[in-house]
Amino acid sequence: MPSTVVHLAIGGIVAAALLGEEFDGRAVAVVLAATAVPDLDTFVGLYVQGAHRALLHTLVVPAMATVALTYDTRLSRVSRLHTRWGARGTRVAWVAVAALVFGGILPDLMTNGVNAFYPFYDRFLTVDGELLLSNQRGVVQTFVDLSGAPDRTTENTHYWTGVDPTPGQEPTNVERIFPVVRSGFQLLVVGLGAFTLGARFLEER
């Protein structure tokens, strides 16, 4: 599964690409904080069965944020966000929502899955597979699984973390692993994120 470091690397790329003239340390910090929000449900999972990758990994969270921002910045007669923070605050808020989706939630959706529509639909979904063009088999895809595998819900699904490695009572000698990078591709993403943010900061100076 992607570590928080990998999530933050993607969030940094989003920040570098979309903040435009508002790019600075404080704006990047806000965007990275939004990127890290989903992983906070790891701690809730210590007390609530199945909360990890459900409570804050749901796409309902950015959907609600999008509705709230749209109402405040486009439909309301007076935008509270713009009144307090100006155009800068509005841009940073929209970029933070984008980073929440693309850096915080989607990497996990594509690695072992998330409860994407919790609490309205309690099923862990995974977008993982391949799309091939074969001269013998034609178009081959494995993203849609019609095998009838058992549904994974908050009642029967546990994702291990260094904070909560096993469901229920943990043995005294349990190993706690906190991943940083788990593949060459993840290392590439982390390197790209660091390079992109570093280049933008140098450019701003």
Each residue's pLDDT expressed in tens, for the chain with a length of 205 residues? 799 999 999 999 999 999 999 999 999 999 999 999 999 999 999 899 899 999 999 999 999 999 999 999 999 999 999 999 999 999 999 999 999 999 999 999 999 899 999 999 999 999 998 999 999 999 998 887 766 678 899 999 999 899 998 888 888 889 999 999 999 999 999 999 999 999 999 998 8
Judged on CB neighbours under 10 Å (0-12, 13-18, 19+), 182 is: middle
What values do phi and psi take at 42, rounded to 5? -55, -40
Output the DSSP codes for 88-104.
HHHHHHHHHHHHIIIII
pLDDT at 146: 67
Residues 6+ apart with CB under 8 A from 36: 4, 7, 8, 11, 104
Distance CA 163, CA 179 (A): 11
Tokens for 94, please give them.
């929209």
Phi, psi dihedral angles at 35 (to 5 degrees): -65, -35
Residue 9 has a pLDDT of 98
